[in-house]
A and B are shown apart, each in its own frame.
Chain A
C-alpha cells in the first residue's frame, strides 16, 4: 500500500516536472510546477514532515507561484518568444543532465542502504507532541541566529524589490 502511494506521488512529481521543462506555454509550465509541489508535499507527509507539507503548499504552491504568475502577466506574453524557447545546445544539456542523474543514482543506490526509517525522531515527537512542536522547540532555542537572519533576508528582499519596482517606475 505504502509502496503504491510512493510510486504514485513520485511518478506524478517526475512527470509534472518534466512537463514544466517541456511546456510550450509558460503558464502551462507554472501550473505543472504547482502539480509538482503538491506531489512533493504528499511525499513530505509520507516522510512524517506534516508541517513542511503544509508550508510547501501555503508558501510554495500558494505565494511563490502567485508571484510568478504576476511576473508573467507584467511582461508582454508576445515577447516571451514561445517558439524559439530552447537553446541551440539542448542536446548537450540533456546529455549532461542524464550523466549527472546516472552518477547521483549510482551513488544513491549503493550508499545509505543501512539506514532504517523512523528512529529517534519518532520517539522525540511522541514525547514533545507533533512534528510542528518539535520544529518549534528547536527553531526558537537552538536556531535563534538563523531565525533572526531569516528576517534580515526577508527585509533585504522587500527593500530590494521596492527599490527595483518603484524607483525604476518613477524614473521611467
Chain B
C-alpha cells in the first residue's frame, strides 16, 4: 500500500521541475510546455487527494483544470503566433513592449 505522501512527493517533484523550466527557458513555447508540466503535477496531487479522502470532488476539479488548460493553450499559442508574425521572435526577453 503506497501512502498518500509518495504521490504528493512525486507531484511536488514534477511541479518543481516545471517551475525550474519556466524560470530557466527563454523560448515562449518552451515556457508554455513547462507550464503544462506544472498543471499536470497539480492535477496529480488533486487526484491523489481525491482518492485518499474518498471524495470525488478532486477529480471533477481536475476535469475543469484540463478544460482551462486547453483554453489557455489555445489562446496562448494564438498570441505567440501573432507575436511571432509581428516581430519574428519567440524569446521571452524580446517581448518587453506591450504596445506596438
Contact = CB atoms under 8 A, between A and B. Distances in A.
Q: Do A and B share a direct contact in the complex (Cβ within 8 angstroms)?
A: yes
B8 to A, nearest CB: 4
A160 B78 contact: yes
Interface string B16-40: 1111110111110110111011001
Contact of B73 (A20, A64, A100, A116): A64
A85 B21 CA distance: 11
A48 B5 CA distance: 17
B1 A117 contact: yes
A26 B28 CA distance: 11
Given A47-B7, A160-B75, A150 B33 contact: no
Interface in B46-96: 47-48, 50-57, 59-60, 62-64, 66-75, 77-82, 84-86, 88-91
Contact of B21 (A20, A117, A150): A20
Contacts of A93: 20, 23-24
Nearest to A146: B64
A74 B81 contact: yes
A26 B29 contact: yes
Contacts of B2: 2-3, 6, 117
- Interface of chain B, main secondary structure: helix
Given A30-B33, A79-B88, A118-B54, A52 B47 contact: yes
Contacts of B67: 150, 153-154
B56 A138 contact: yes
- Interface of chain A, main secondary structure: helix
Nearest to B93: A87
A56 B60 contact: no
Given A2-B1, A117-B4, A156-B71, A52 B63 contact: yes
Interface size class for chain A? 35 or more
Contacts of A75: 29, 80-81, 84, 90
A119 B55 CA distance: 8
Given A86-B24, A113-B3, A139-B63, A67 B74 contact: yes
Interface of A: 2-3, 6, 10, 13-14, 17-18, 20-21, 26, 29-30, 33, 36-37, 40, 43-44, 47-49, 51-52, 55-56, 59-60, 63-64, 67-68, 70-72, 74-76, 79-81, 84-87, 89-90, 93-94, 96-98, 100-101, 104-105, 108-109, 112-113, 115-124, 131, 134-135, 138-139, 143, 146, 150, 153-154, 156-158, 160-161, 164-165, 168-169, 172
